[in-house]
Amino acid sequence: MTAASLDGHRARASHANSVLDGTVRFAPLPSLWLAAMLAGAVSGALCFFSWTGVALFIVSTAIVLLFGHSLGSHRKLIHDSFECPKWLEYLLVYLGVLVGLSGPLALLRQHELRDYAQRLPACHPYLRHGAGFWRDAWWQLFCRLDLDHPPHIAIEARIAHDRFYRFLERSWMLQQLPWAVLFYVWGGWGLVCWGVCARVSAGVLGHWLIGYFAHNHGQMHFYVDGAAVQGRNIRLTSLLTMGECWHNNHHAYPGSARLGLLPGEWDPGWWMLLLLRRLGLVSALRLPQDLAPRPELRETTVRR
């Protein structure tokens, strides 16, 4: 069986149950990483509280979520939904690494696996956030899924062989260190706790939390026939997620640079792309009408 992503990357599987049969196992390194960040965040709140620290947390988190995760990791690296100079692409993806989820290549492979699995008629509950709230939290934050017959994820050469991305992949945890040193010199351990540990904790926990609700609860404008998972829109989190909460829209048009498609669907990531286009830094912003038709896609609400 073979299946192609809608955005150019490909997943291939030779086993009928390639995304069904597998075992969820404890993952020591990601667990230690998150536990250390959470311990630092709690220490910052209890022992090093300051309004400067809180402001640093808010500003740094907003920057890495908007420019890094939403624009760099998701809309550019994974879906290539706009064009920009290479230096800007590198900067955006680097900021995405600072979110603290993983290296860029691992993040891309995991996203491709989930996309492939969720478009099939059935997939493992780990891949569709389908195990219930608390079990899904344990699985996604502290475990990994080892499939018995995993599909092959082939990342295009321009990304897989890129020296900068390979460097970030090897050193993604260490990329927090220069910022920790800078914040320590600026204001001691308190700013390290707020500017690194609390920021990473919020990014990792928030990524899981939005992922869970965006696959289980929320509004739907579109339905993808034959798919194991239907994305959901989580309206109240549009500003917090930089527009990434419009996940039902994204499942319908994964290659679109704009995620908030209907009036009132606030999408800060799209707003920033429009500003960058006005500045001459990005171009070729892909929209739903620019994508190939999908016969399996149907609307569930009337769009105005």
pLDDT band at 1 (very low <50, low <70, confident <90, very high): very low
Of 69, 67, 45, which is closest to residue 57 (Cα–Cα)?
45
Q: What is the mean pLDDT of residues 194-220?
A: 96
Of 60, 45, 42, which is closest to residue 183 (Cα–Cα)?
60
The confidence score (pLDDT) of residue 63 equals 98
pLDDT band at 2 (very low <50, low <70, confident <90, very high): very low
Beta bridge partners of 143: 26
pLDDT band at 17 (very low <50, low <70, confident <90, very high): confident
The confidence score (pLDDT) of residue 10 equals 64
pLDDT digits (tens, 9 = 90+) for 75-105: 999 999 999 999 999 999 999 999 999 999 9
The confidence score (pLDDT) of residue 304 equals 39
Phi, psi of 36 (to 5 degrees): -65, -40
Of 230, 282, 296, 235, which is closest to residue 260 (Cα–Cα)?
235
pLDDT(206) > 90: yes
